[in-house]
A and B are shown apart, each in its own frame.
Chain A
Amino acid sequence: MLYAVLCYNSEDTVFSWSKQEEEAVMTKLIAAQEKMAKAGKLGPVARLMPTTAATTLRKDREPAIVIDGPFAETKEQLLGFYVVDCESLEEALEFARDLGKANPGGAYEIRPLAVFRPGDLKSEQLAR
């Protein structure tokens, strides 16, 4: 089963990390992903820019309106996600626990995928 692991945390806190703290967390997160990657179970990984960079299109009215900022004002924000291939929910939870050890606070939402098309984007396209 494919699962999305959605990462929620207080972006105020995450963006208050010093460079050293940030690097330490990233190193540990990458180590946690390595296990999954080696087993061929790690799909796309994305880290999102802060919600200040977000724009929302509200389409529940005509015409749809564009709003600056994220869709929902929440205490903890969606900051990134992983897609992983796991035998069971337990395995997906185990992965989330591993990630959690690197990265205190916040929450991971583990959500099974209904449709998955990996697409053909390359990560270099980010640099443009």
Chain B
Amino acid sequence: MNDIAWIDAALTSARPRAVSALLRYFRNLDNAEEAFQNACLKALDSWPRNGPPRDPAAWLIMVGRNVGIDDARRKAKQQPLPDDESLSDLGDAETAIADRLDESHYRDDILRLLFICCHPELPATQQIALALRVVSGLTVPQIARAFLVGESAMEQRITRAKARIAKADVPFETPGAPERSERLGAVAGMIYLIFNEGYSATGGELPLRAPLCEEAIRLARLLLRLFQNEPEIMGLAALMLLQHSRSAARFDAAGSIILLEDQDRSLWDKAMIAEGLALIDKAMRHRRPGPYLVQAAIAALHARAARPEDTDWPQIDLLYATLERLTPSPVVTLNRAVAVSKVRGPEAALEMIEPLAPDLSGYFYFFGVKGAMLQQLGRNEEARIAFDRAIALANNAAEAAHIRSHLDRLQRDSAPA
């Protein structure tokens, strides 16, 4: 890795901490971002000559703050800038400022920065775009590519989101325990949204959108380092690692979905699985499972099965029952029904999903599952109707193609001999 690549990685990793501290100083997102940009420019000039600082984030915060203050003064008085030398004389000062940056502060700083991106007035897509821009430092073209929209549309989306944030009250006081945990919950939800933006990508889009999954995992690790004893954050990180571990096996060459039970398990990423399992182990010790942890535990049972037939379905059924209690929703029950079909057969599963029909009448996956259950029971005509309905509701070509393969099989099975 050359100098520039290393500096780039150092700037990226220092960004959340630096921007969030600058936001606390300037109390304005645009000023904080601008100060950070200016500090980065100075870093690109100074680091290759003087070597990297011991604490890149502290260096960037101090330089960004100085430049920002000078900027404000200059605008106020039209005074000339102090020469560069006085700014770059940071050797000893850097250690001092790093000490003064209260470590407990920056935990709340980063949480605040992430939290303002989840402002309830912002639609989910704007929240994610804003977080990727401000916290992760992705460029507008990068974000636009990941969302499959044009650059100017994305630029607009981010500008609009920022304008809304500017008008809203940003809470700068140090949060109390209940606020902190509320913020943590909102931020975790947003990180999972970022992940799902990447995860829901289909075949051809995958190379463009998979970086979203990696970014979400990076943010979750960041959050977990700040809040080390939160089992739900461990669960979130584990859930994303376990899901992402399968990414090389999820689509065939033509971009069609490969179902879990048909995936080539040797393509699953063992390092990600190992890290996910380690995090679940840690989280379970806290004995207060939340929705992310339970979903991670379900993903872990799939990850542990060397072959599909080794899957511990009874345990998955139990975990889904827990999830139903924690977050009751027809979609959770539908997922549980799949486990039930493996444990107690398709009849029991059908019985379970029948009452969901009114809630899920517009949901692709509902008719996919229903069709599969009916097909297993040999009720082919009803299965065909369900599959037809699923195709009509498919969100993308890959989903439709997958259902069509079921229909083809039905056709073959019911063709007169």
Chain A positions near chain B (C-beta within 8 angstroms): 10, 12-13, 15-17, 21, 24-25, 49-53, 55, 66-69, 73, 75, 102-105, 126-127
Contacts and interface: CB of A to CB of B under 8 A. Distances in A.
A16 B282 CA distance: 24
Contact of B1 (A25, A50, A75): A25
Say whether chain B's binding surface is mostly helix, strand, loop, or mixed. Answer: helix
Contact of A13 (B10, B103, B282): B10
A104 B6 contact: yes
Given A49-B278, A52-B221, A75-B55, A17 B229 contact: no
B218 interface: yes
B52 interface: yes
Given A16-B9, A69-B228, 13 more contacts: A10-B56, A12-B13, A12-B222, A13-B13, A16-B13, A17-B9, A24-B1, A53-B275, A67-B229, A69-B229, A104-B3, A126-B270, A127-B270
Interface size on B, as a range, is 20 to 34
B285 to A, nearest CB: 7
A75 B52 contact: no
A105 B218 contact: no
B279 A52 contact: yes
Nearest to B98: A75
Nearest to A53: B278
A53 B218 contact: no
B281 to A, nearest CB: 9
Given A15-B218, A52-B237, A104 B275 contact: no
Contacts of B6: 13, 104-105
B152 interface: no
A15 B14 CA distance: 12
A44 to B, nearest CB: 18
B292 to A, nearest CB: 14
A97 to B, nearest CB: 16
Contacts of B56: 10, 13
B103 to A, nearest CB: 8
Contacts of B224: 52
B225 A52 contact: yes
The 5 lowest CB-CB distance pairs between A and B, nearest first, are A12-B13, A69-B228, A104-B6, A16-B13, A68-B229
Interface in B47-73: 52, 54-56
A75 B225 CA distance: 12
B12 interface: yes
Contacts of A13: 6, 9-10, 13, 56
Interface string B270-299: 100011001100100100000000000000
A66 B285 contact: yes
11 contacts: A10-B10, A13-B9, A15-B13, A15-B221, A16-B13, A17-B9, A25-B1, A52-B279, A69-B229, A105-B10, A105-B52
Report which residue of B6, B222, B228, B285 has the largest number of chain A beta carbons within 10 angstroms of its beta carbon: B228
Contact of B14 (A12, A24, A53): A12
Contacts of B237: 52
B222 A103 contact: no
B139 to A, nearest CB: 14
Interface in B167-184: none
Contacts of A25: 1
Nearest to B283: A68
Nearest to A47: B271
Contacts of B218: 15-16
B5 interface: yes
A51 B10 CA distance: 18
Nearest to A103: B1
Interface in B215-237: 218, 221-222, 224-225, 228-229, 234, 237
Given A55-B282, A67-B229, A75-B54, A50 B221 contact: yes
Contact of A50 (B12, B275, B282): B275
B52 A49 contact: no
A75 to B, nearest CB: 6
A112 to B, nearest CB: 26
Interface in B193-239: 218, 221-222, 224-225, 228-229, 234, 237
Contacts of B10: 10, 13, 105
Contact of A53 (B3, B13, B54, B282): B282
A74 B346 CA distance: 54
Nearest to A13: B13
Contacts of B3: 104
B213 to A, nearest CB: 12
Contacts of A68: 228-229, 234, 282
